[in-house]
């Protein structure tokens, strides 16, 4: 295993100038800023070296040395990664901690800002507020979240229904690629620029800085937060919220925040639903809107507080509105504990009975702090194309669910017990959320979704070993058996020899397979379905009748007779068939 001193010596020999650079073999920098205590244990894998660059040449040198010594690189901005992937790896690794690259330059006249990736959201909001009381950036609430990771994953926030995600408002970037090249939008090309805006951090290169489009906000905004318990009809309010929140004017953002709390009866817990909300305008405009669209919430003027946008920035970051803006510069985490998070997207309102099942699980004895955060869609989120950036969760979603479970109890057994609980909750909600595929937000990392399986020194993906890139050959991407005639002497008169990842290893994770189908006269490929895939069929010889049955409630039969060269698409999850209607053998 590489010793940190050899990396450090090699790094210094590759360094391009005489500026001093910190290369930390100690772990004080890391351990003091980990947000999730699950990954702050003696058993957690540690980096061999932590590099804290103060200019881009330090990053370039780290990339070159890591490649030479065969080390993974982890890039850390604020350390909020839900699964610790910005500072944990099962393979030998080095951390590039961007804490010293946090300069921010706000151009109020042109409503733009250049933000280095090591800056926090709090530092960004501070810099904007210093320049203008009516400019903002649509990003998250937590002030200690690093801008780099937040922007890379998409970036939810209270302005999303008005202006979209944080990543929707990136207009340029500076990136260092695996070859050490410094690229901007023009030189990296639109494909790579597309990928870094919501495709996930630590993926396509080291993004050093982002150019952001700032957005206008009114000087006066209104906040309110209505709280109800189960005894105060919380379940019916949440159920109704599903039908309302995504249809409200885009100036109004109402979330639903659900927790377990003590009831009025001693020793008995209950469920509390809170509806923290932001309206871009005054209370005199807000109250009629609420009365028209969501009267069940019972909002009255005393529930509302008008404040300036700058005061809201402080309030939304967890500070009192009369605090100095300087509190936004505090990088110390406000709350550190063990936690596990998951996410879902909801396309049809969940029935009340589904929520009642969630409450039953929340109230289980021994579960400390479960949370459910429902974030409404609609507005700008429905207008932006699902292909505009890698973040594809757009029109068709009513809201996003974030599941969170926090606990203070230490130890592996406690961690396993709590993680198992949230996994069971996630399984319970499966019938009520998106399907084929079940969607998740990459910004809330969840290694239960698509986790690498390590056996010895071999990484398994989808149960198959990943080859060392140095040993990859053309045969990993080719197959030569589809010319062979299939034996159709069977009950259905067809043969389907499949070509999948077992025959072409390069197909692994691509979600693609191939097949040759031979049909005897009157032979068929009987009714069947592919729950997670569409099928494209091309007739090579003969005549085929093909068709599929549409979904409920219509259940229409869509069918056609294809001749040689004809192509037909069978949509995902629909029952379909093929039948040879010619007098000779057919091939597709």
Decide: 136 and 124 in contact? Cβ < 8 Å: no
Catalytic residue among 82, 156, 444, 519: 444
Give the integer Cα–Cα distance in Å for 236 and 253: 19
Q: Is 194 helix (H, G, I), strand (E, B) or coil?
A: helix
What DSSP letter does each residue of 301-363 carry, written as one string?
GGGEEEEEHHHHHHHHTTS-TTS-GGGGG--S-S--BEEEEEEEEESSPPPHHHHHHHHHHHT
On whether 80 is known to bind a ligand per the annotation, the reply is: no
Burial track 117-141 (b if 16+ CB lie within 10 A, e otherwise): bbbbbbbbbbbbbeebbebbbbbbb
On whether 525 is known to bind a ligand per the annotation, the reply is: yes
Burial track 310-342 (b if 16+ CB lie within 10 A, e otherwise): bbbbbbbbebeeeeebeebeebebeeeebbbbb
- Which H or E run contains 191? helix 190-196
Query: CB 417: neighbour CB atoms within 10 A?
Result: 14
Active site residue 11: no
* 574: Cα within 13 Å, side-chain hemisphere: 22
The bridge status of strand 72-76 relative to strand 93-97 is parallel
Phi, psi of 99 (to 5 degrees): -55, -30
- CA-nearest of 52, 106, 46, 44 to 71 is 46
**Count of helix runs (H) and strand runs (E) in the chain:** 14, 33
On whether 109 is known to bind a ligand per the annotation, the reply is: no
- Which H or E run contains 426? helix 412-428
Give the integer Cα–Cα distance in Å for 58 and 56: 5
Contacts by 303-307 with C-beta closer than 8 Å and gap 24+?
303/224, 303/225, 303/226, 304/222, 304/223, 304/224, 305/222, 305/223, 305/224, 306/220, 306/221, 306/222, 306/282, 307/220, 307/221, 307/222, 307/223
Contacts of 87 (CB under 8 A, 6+ apart): 30, 34, 39, 47, 74, 76, 79, 81, 95
Give the integer Cα–Cα distance in Å for 83 and 66: 23
Give the integer Cα–Cα distance in Å for 571 and 588: 17
Give the integer Cα–Cα distance in Å for 59 and 74: 12
* 408: Cα within 13 Å, side-chain hemisphere: 3
Contacts of 33 (CB under 8 A, 6+ apart): 79, 331, 333
On whether 541 is known to bind a ligand per the annotation, the reply is: no
On whether 69 is known to bind a ligand per the annotation, the reply is: no
Give the integer Cα–Cα distance in Å for 39 and 339: 10
Burial track 222-257 (b if 16+ CB lie within 10 A, e otherwise): bbbebebebeeebbebbbbbbebbbebbbbbbbbbb
Active-site residues: which are they?
A: 444
């Amino acid at each position: 295993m590489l010793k940190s001193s050899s990396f450090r010596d090699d790094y210094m020999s590759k360094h391009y100038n005489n500026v001093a650079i910190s290369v930390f073999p100690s772990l004080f920098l890391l351990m003091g800023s980990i947000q999730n205590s699950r990954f702050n244990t003696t058993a957690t894998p540690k980096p061999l070296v932590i590099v804290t660059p103060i200019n881009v040449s330090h990053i370039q040198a780290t990339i070159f040395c890591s490649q030479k010594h065969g080390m993974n690189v982890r890039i850390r901005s604020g350390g909020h990664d839900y699964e610790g992937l910005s500072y944990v790896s099962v393979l030998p690794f080095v951390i590039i901690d961007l804490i010293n690259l946090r300069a921010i330059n706000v151009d109020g006249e042109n409503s733009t800002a250049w933000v280095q990736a090591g800056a926090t959201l709090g530092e960004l909001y501070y810099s904007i507020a210093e320049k203008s009381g009516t400019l903002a950036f649509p990003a998250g609430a937590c002030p200690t979240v690093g801008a780099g990771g937040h922007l890379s994953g998409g970036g939810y926030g209270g302005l999303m229904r008005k202006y979209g995600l944080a990543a929707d408002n990136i207009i340029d970037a500076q990136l260092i690629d695996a070859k050490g090249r410094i690229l901007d939008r023009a030189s990296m090309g639109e494909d790579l620029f597309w990928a870094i805006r919501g495709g996930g951090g630590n993926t396509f290169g080291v993004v050093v800085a982002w150019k952001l489009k700032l957005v206008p906000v009114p000087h006066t905004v209104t906040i309110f937060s209505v709280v109800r318990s189960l005894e105060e009809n919380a379940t019916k309010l949440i159920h109704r919220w599903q039908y309302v929140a995504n249809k409200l004017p885009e100036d109004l953002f109402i979330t639903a925040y659900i927790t377990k709390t003590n009831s009025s009866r001693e020793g008995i817990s209950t469920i509390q639903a809170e509806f923290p909300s932001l309206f871009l305008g005054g209370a005199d405009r807000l109250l009629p809107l609420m009365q028209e669209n969501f009267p069940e919430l019972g909002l009255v003027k005393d529930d509302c507080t008008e404040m300036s946008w700058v005061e809201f920035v402080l309030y939304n970051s967890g500070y009192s509105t009369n605090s100095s803006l300087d509190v936004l510069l505090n990088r110390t985490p406000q709350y550190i504990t063990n936690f596990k998070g998951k996410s879902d997207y909801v396309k049809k309102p969940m029935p009340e009975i589904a929520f009642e099942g969630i409450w039953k699980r929340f109230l289980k004895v021994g579960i400390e702090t479960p949370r459910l955060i429902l974030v409404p869609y609609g507005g700008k989120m429905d207008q932006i194309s699902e292909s505009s950036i890698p973040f594809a969760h757009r029109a068709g979603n009513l809201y996003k669910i974030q599941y969170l479970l926090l606990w203070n109890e230490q130890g592996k057994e406690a961690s396993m017990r709590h993680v198992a609980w949230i996994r069971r909750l996630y399984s319970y909600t499966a019938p009520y959320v998106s399907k084929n595929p079940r969607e998740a937000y990459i910004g809330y990392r969840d290694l239960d979704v698509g986790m690498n399986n390590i056996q010895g020194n071999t990484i398994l993906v989808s149960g198959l070993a990943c080859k060392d890139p140095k040993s990859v050959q053309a045969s990993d991407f080719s197959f030569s058996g589809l010319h062979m005639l299939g034996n159709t002497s069977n009950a259905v008169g067809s043969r389907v020899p499949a070509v999948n990842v077992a025959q072409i290893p390069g197909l692994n994770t691509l979600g693609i397979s191939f097949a040759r189908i031979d049909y005897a006269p009157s032979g068929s490929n009987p009714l069947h379905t592919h729950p997670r895939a569409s099928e494209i069929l091309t007739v090579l010889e003969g005549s085929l009748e093909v068709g599929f049955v549409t979904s409920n409630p219509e259940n229409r039969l869509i069918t056609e007779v294809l001749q040689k060269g004809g192509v037909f698409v069978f949509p995902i999850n629909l029952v379909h068939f093929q039948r040879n209607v010619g007098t000779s053998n057919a091939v597709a």
